[in-house]
Structure 1
Amino acid sequence: MGAQLSSQADTKAPQETLRFHPEAKGAQVRLDAQRCTARRNATFHDGIVFSQRPVLPGERVAVRVVWHEGGWCGGLRVGFTRLDPARVSAPSLPPFVCPDLELQSPTWAAMLPEGCALAGDVVCFWVNRRGRLFVRVNSGPRLLLRKGVLMGAPLWAVMDVYGTTKAIKLLDPTASAFPSTVPRALIDESLQPEATAGEECAICFHHAANTCLVPCGHTHFCSYCALRVFRDLAKCPVCRWEIKAVVPAWGPPILRTGEGLLMQVAN
């Protein structure tokens, strides 16, 4: 794909403030002069961006969602890659980081649960020395997005300004004041509504089944259990399909568009 992997000799990069790489970016991405803000110009894809330097294990990458665009289903993707963006040919970048860039290169990324990256939210993500990718939104709980990131070589942060996420801004995670709110999608289990007969979650058998798994459409789980399954397994317990998103069961109907993107459509 016109890119080269980094060598072990590249690991000692200066720890300068993180910026977006000026050249390695999706066809729809526009950067500001400081390379702190990345905006997707049109459509819902071709929004891949990279950090300009490798990120250390445990180092936090923080971005604020500055523009949330309705009409799409699914938003920001975050992760890490061994691709050196200085050696990436921008026209060769695929439209999506998940799964396209992951299939073409040693890249590990994941989408955030639906509703966890709204305008004003701060998304902080990192990989630990055991190769586990974590994320925290605002002051919410730490979430494990995926395992198996291969360590031992330089890793660059990679983000996909996708779907409902129209623009993001890099922040200094040590100097920025993060919002104290917790996304509703990460609501505590104790706040879940109790179920009436025949409506209980198929996992906990206590809270109301109020979510829909995308794309399979199963609606047997409360939001707390559905997000745990999404985080830990990413497969529907009923049919074993891969889970792409968790959405409210009572929301607008979910349709598949001609472009293959799941989109919410008003009644």
Structure 2
Amino acid sequence: MGAQICSQADTEEPLEILRFHPEAKGAQVLLDAKRMSACRLATFHDGIVFSQRPVRPRERVALRVLRHEGGWHGGLRVGFTRLNPAYVPAPSLPPFLCPDLEQQSPTWAAMLPDACALAGDVAHFWVNRRSRLYALVNGGRRLLLRKGVPMGAPLWAVMDVYGTTKAVELLDPTASAFPTASPWALPEETPSDPEATAEEECAICLHCTANTCLVPCGHTHFCSCCACRVFRDTAKCPMCRCEIEGVVLARGPRARRTGEGLPA
């Protein structure tokens, strides 16, 4: 493929927010100006995209499914590769991440289950210290996708906007990069969300405190920024897919657990 595999010594990249690589992308991929979203224009393949920098050990890559398209079988693929996208000529990319790119290069990837790649779904994926590729969707149970992903050399995130997945958006998992949406049912001035303990953290960004309640389903697993973003983008609860009619601030740990804080 004319690609270059980097050694560990080549790798000191700045710790910047993850974006899509501007040139190493499938023939059908269109990136936005900030290289934070990728859309597949036609067909069901040729949607491979890479991160612009290597991920740090155990760094979580966060993305949101923006558009879902019926009529195909299978959807979003995620994983990691040792291919440095700076040396990957776009015309040399195969149409499929799995199995084509995996067979041609040191790449480890897998498809997310169809039910985990719908519009509005937020997925995190990473390699743990035991060289296992995991994914987490909407704060649900952890999914083991692959074993035996070596950690001794730089790894770039690689994704395939494939099949039913039409467009995706990279997110900053620290929540500071989640834009605050219009307040809707929230107060006009919502204070910035505090950092959370493991028991309290938002199921989407895994960083800020879960401090909202969705109406009418009552789920209380999300910080205000993420809840507003979901309300704006899909208006469907990530936990139960119920239609969201409003978002209110939950007050205190008991409100987060029981749904108290809903308007009468």
Query: Shorter-chain TM-score category?
Result: 0.5 to 0.7
1:134–1:143 contact (8 Å) kept in structure 2 = yes
The residue type equivalent to 1:143 in the other structure is L
Q: Which residue of 1 aligns with 2:239?
A: 182
- Counterparts in 2 of 1:162 and 1:183: CA distance versus 1, 3 Å: farther
1:115–1:183 contact (8 Å) kept in structure 2 = no
Q: Which residue of 2 aligns with 1:59?
A: 59
Q: Which residue of 2 aligns with 1:12?
A: 12
- Counterparts in 2 of 1:14 and 1:183: CA distance versus 1, 3 Å: farther
Q: Aligned partners of 2:72 and 2:22: how far apart in 1?
A: 27
1:179-210 CA-to-partner distances (Å, cap 9, x unmatched) read 663378xxxxxxxxxxxxxxxxxxxxxxxxxx
* CA displacement at 1:63 relative to structure 2: 0.6
1:137–1:183 contact (8 Å) kept in structure 2 = no
Q: Aligned partners of 1:87 and 1:130: how far apart in 2?
A: 29
Q: Which residue of 1 aligns with 2:138?
A: 138
Count of equivalent residues? 184
- Counterparts in 2 of 1:116 and 1:152: CA distance versus 1, 3 Å: same
The residue type equivalent to 1:181 in the other structure is P
1:23-55 CA-to-partner distances (Å, cap 9, x unmatched) read 000000000000000000100000000000000
The sequence identity of aligned pairs, in percent, is 76
Q: Which residue of 1 aligns with 2:126?
A: 126
1:56-95 map, 5 Å: 56-95=56-95
Q: Which runs of 5+ in 2 are unaligned?
A: 179-201, 205-229, 231-236, 242-264
Q: Which residue of 2 aligns with 1:154?
A: 154
Q: Which residue of 1 aligns with 2:3?
A: 3
Q: Which residue of 1 aligns with 2:221?
A: none
Q: Which residue of 2 aligns with 1:30?
A: 30
Partner-residue secondary structure (3-state), 2:9: helix
Partner-residue secondary structure (3-state), 1:30: strand
Q: Which runs of 5+ in 1 are unaligned?
A: 185-267
2:120–2:238 contact (8 Å) kept in structure 1 = no
Partner-residue secondary structure (3-state), 1:126: strand
Runs (4+) off by over 3 Å: none
1:101-250 map, 5 Å: 101-175=101-175, 176=178, 178=204, 181-182=238-239
* CA displacement at 1:96 relative to structure 2: 0.4
The residue type equivalent to 1:144 in the other structure is L
**Is 1:42 equivalent to 2:29 in the alignment?**
no
TM-score by length of 1: 0.67
Partner-residue secondary structure (3-state), 2:98: helix
- Counterparts in 2 of 1:52 and 1:137: CA distance versus 1, 3 Å: same
TM-score by length of 2: 0.67
